[in-house]
Structures are given as C-alpha cells and as structure tokens.
C-alpha cells in the first residue's frame, strides 16, 4: 500500500500536475500546508486557496486526498522545518504503508512501473528515485542538469527517522522511478520565490545565483560547470533536450 506525501507552499500551482502523476497508484494522499502561509524560511508566500481547492476537488475523484494545515515553521532553520513537516505528515499516513514523499514540483514519468517494483522491496529498506532536473527552459527546449548520481531518497516505512529532509536512517535501494524535477525550469519570478524560501536559502547568495541563471543561454550553456548553489560538484554540466522527449 502506498501513501504519498506532498508539501504545499509557494509551488502550489505545480502540485496539481504532480499529484495527477501519482494519483492512480496512490492508496492515500497526504498534503501539508502551513496554516499561516509561512515558508520554511519564515517568509509569507502567496496562496490562492480558492484556486487550489477547486483544482483538488476536480482531481480527487476517488477521495484519496487529505490536507493537513498546521504550523510547519516552528524552528529557526529552514531545513529543520522541512524535516519537521515531513515527519508530521509521515506519521499521519496509514500504519504499514510505504510513505512516498514527492515534492510539489516533481512529476512521475513511470508511476505504474514503480508501483509494481515496490511490491518486491524489503520493508526495512528505503527507496530512491532518479531525478531528471530542469535548469532552464527556452520554448520547447530544456537545459537539463547532468548529474552523475541523480538518485534521491523518496520512500520508507519508517515514520520518525528522517535524518536529512526525506532521507530515513536506513539502507536505500535505487528504484526504476524517473522523476521530472521542475526545479529551476520556471519563470524568473517563480524561481526567485523558490530560492528565497527553499530549505537551503540561507546557505548561498540568492542574488548572485539569480544573476548566474539569467546569464545562461542556448549559446553559452556548455560553459557552465560545477554550479550547484550549495554543493557545486553535484551539478557538473548541462545538456540540451527537446520538450518532446517528455511527451
């Protein structure tokens, strides 16, 4: 049985597409939303409740979705708040289920294959999925981040042992799941909103990084090397692909 968890905040407009990508394989869906509309970085974020609830109502034909609103910014550091919310929402999931945490800007490309694979995973093992991360979009062309090991933790049956965001304190298996990560591939306004509220927002100079992002074009993208804002070697280079690759 699969319990999916998604955190709702400044990326809420991306969330409906994300939820639709896993809705059919989910047994239940738990969404978290800060009751004060305050981000992990202690900043207020815009949120159109009427728009969001209309979208959820249209999507939730099988009544799988539960929205939990609470204070998810009680701690001083953004990453501590991130981890706190994930623990709260995981504990709200049905006992015995796999807890699969998919962020609001992550879209599952092969959900059915993943659902079949999970049936064979030992219960004392964590699960990882492979990120395909967008850095910038130009019309129907994407600049994707070439990551040598782009697997991220997404699933566990442990409810209170998250040690770093959604990574639980246990061995992990790499699943066949492919996740298209919207990440930096958005309008500049949306990107700035993300970077100033992201759990890593205190760890780098947001203004400098936005200037770097602004400067990247289809003509010069090959010059960008080791450019992750917090751990530079994680992102060694970019590659160009057509949007049709993800149709």
What integer pLDDT is reported at residue 71 of this predicted model?
Answer: 98
Which band of pLDDT confidence, cut at 50, 70 and 90, is reported for residue 177? very high
Q: How confident is the model at residue 205 (pLDDT cuts 50, 70, 90)?
A: very high
Instruction: Give a yes or no: residue 238 inside a domain.
Output: no
- Torsion angle, CA of 230/214/16/104, rounded to 10 degrees? 0
Give the phi and the psi of residue 107 in degrees, each rounded to 5. -120, 125
- Determine, yes or no, domain membership for 93: yes
Question: Three-state SS for 119?
Answer: coil
245 in a structural domain: no
Q: Report how far residue 62's alpha carbon sits from residue 39's, in angstroms, rounded to the nearest whole number.
A: 30
pLDDT one-digit tens code per residue, 3-13: 999 999 999 99
**CB count, 10 Å around CB of 59?**
17
CATH number of the CATH domain containing 72: 3.90.550
Banded model confidence at residue 247, pLDDT cuts 50, 70, 90: low
Residue 162 pLDDT grade (very low, low, confident, very high; cuts 50, 70, 90): confident
For residue 97, give its domain range: 2-181
Q: Is residue 160 part of a domain?
A: yes
Residue 158 within a domain: yes
Question: Per the structure, how many domains does the chain have?
Answer: 1
Query: What are residue 237's phi and psi, to 5 degrees?
Result: -165, 175
Q: Which residue has the higher pLDDT, 209 or 243?
A: 209
For residue range 64-122, list pLDDT tens digits in order: 999 999 999 999 999 999 999 999 999 999 999 999 999 999 999 999 999 999 999 99
d(CA 20, CA 3) in angstroms, rounded, equals: 14
Place of tokens 């991220």: 152
**Contacts of 197 by beta carbon, 8 Å cutoff, 6+ apart:** 9, 10, 39, 40, 41, 43, 45, 78
CA distances (Å), 220 to each of 145, 183, 224, 232, in order?
14, 20, 8, 18
- Do 30 and 92 form a contact (C-beta atoms < 8 A)? yes
User: Is 198 domain-assigned?
Assistant: no
Does residue 201 register a pLDDT over 90?
no
């Amino acid at each position: 049985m699969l319990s999916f968890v998604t955190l709702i905040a400044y990326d809420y407009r991306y969330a409906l597409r994300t939820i639709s990508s896993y809705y059919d394989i989910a047994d239940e869906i738990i969404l978290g939303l800060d009751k004060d509309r305050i981000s992990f970085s202690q900043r207020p974020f815009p949120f159109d409740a009427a728009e969001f609830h209309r979208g959820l109502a249209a999507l939730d034909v099988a009544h799988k979705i539960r929205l939990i609103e609470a204070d998810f910014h009680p701690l001083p550091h953004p990453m501590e708040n991130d981890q706190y919310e994930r623990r709260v929402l995981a504990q709200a999931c049905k006992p015995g289920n796999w807890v699969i945490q998919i962020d609001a800007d992550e879209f599952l490309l092969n959900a059915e294959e993943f659902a079949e694979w999970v049936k064979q995973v030992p219960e004392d093992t964590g699960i990882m999925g492979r990120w395909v991360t967008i850095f910038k979009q130009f019309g129907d062309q994407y600049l994707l981040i070439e990551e040598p090991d782009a697997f991220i933790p997404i699933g566990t049956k442990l409810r209170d042992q998250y040690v770093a965001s959604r990574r639980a304190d246990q061995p992990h298996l790499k699943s066949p799941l492919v996740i298209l990560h919207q990440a930096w591939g958005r309008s500049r306004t949306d990107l700035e909103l993300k970077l100033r509220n992201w759990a890593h927002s205190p760890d780098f100079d947001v203004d400098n990084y936005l200037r770097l992002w602004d400067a990247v074009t289809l003509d010069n993208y090959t010059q960008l090397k080791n450019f992750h804002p917090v751990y530079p070697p994680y992102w060694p280079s970019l590659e160009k692909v057509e949007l049709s690759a993800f149709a």
